[in-house]
Structure 1
Amino acid sequence: MSEKPFTNIVNYFELPSDNNDQLKEFYNKIFKWKFEKGKDTSDYWYTDSPGIKGALLKRRSEEQKAPTIFVQVESLDDCISKATNSGAQIIVDKQDVSEGTFVIIKDPQGNSIGIWQPKSQ
């Protein structure tokens, strides 16, 4: 099976926050990034100002100490299976949101990576 365009690429980022208003102001001042309120929760703020879609969000867990990048895949379930069989741990269970489904894993060296499958696939 051949890969679809835009598969296995970094296509999103999330910046964890304890105060979204502070970070919205910070990134607007230094980079002129604009944010709009998310569709799924009130503590999620989208931006596409940096050339890649991203968001500020309320920190999901104490383990979320750094930005998370998301890799878009053709099959989330297949990727989860490959990742866990290769030593990854799931740290945020599979979740459906308005635009697709994601999971966050921790790779064998402790890096958090989001895996994303849009609804259109």
Structure 2
Amino acid sequence: MYFGETEANEPEKRVTGVGGFFFKSEDPSKLKDWYKKHLGLNTDDYGCTFWWMDDKGNKASTQWSPFAADTKYFEPSQKQFMQNFRVHNLDGLLVKLKEEGVALVGEPEAYDYGKFAWILDPEGNKIELWEPVDKAFL
């Protein structure tokens, strides 16, 4: 099956969920401690991972992470946040996005927990696209 082809006339899968919410913070450690104490988030060095089940009954995750205020990770966006979306087929989606004239940022990267690529929306917000391998975290 190629990208865009669907079973039983299902809509084309692009984004399948929120992969994470990343934002700048003056003091990420202090902020993570506050969220742990007052809201009960199970924070670690990266923030907090929320676990849930996808539509096929597989474990899936969404990451909440404060970054240092001077992080360069969100560039070229100058915004205080970056969205991360879970996607079904990153390679195929990138082909479609290029065809549609969407601005890509940098080169895709692959790790044992998934593949990543970055795009900009029309307002200059950087969006991270993630084809996850959730079982890498289990």
Given the two structures, how large is their TM-score scaled by the length of structure 2?
Answer: 0.60
Quote the sequence identity (%).
21
Aligned-pair RMSD on alpha carbons? 3.1
| Structure 1: stretches of 5+ with no match in the other structure | 38-44
AA matched with 2:23: P
The reply to whether residue 112 of structure 1 matches residue 126 of structure 2 is yes
Alignment partners' CA distance in 1, 2:103 and 2:118: 9
SS, match of residue 91 in structure 2: helix
> Which is higher, the Rg of structure 1 or of structure 2?
2
Displacement over 4 Å in runs of 4+: 49-52
Alignment partners' CA distance in 2, 1:68 and 1:96: 19
The reply to whether residue 2 of structure 1 matches residue 6 of structure 2 is yes
**Deviation for aligned residue 1:53:** 1.7
The reply to whether residue 24 of structure 1 matches residue 24 of structure 2 is no
| Structure 2: stretches of 5+ with no match in the other structure | 53-60
Alignment partners' CA distance in 1, 2:51 and 2:39: 8
Aligned length: 112
AA matched with 1:108: P
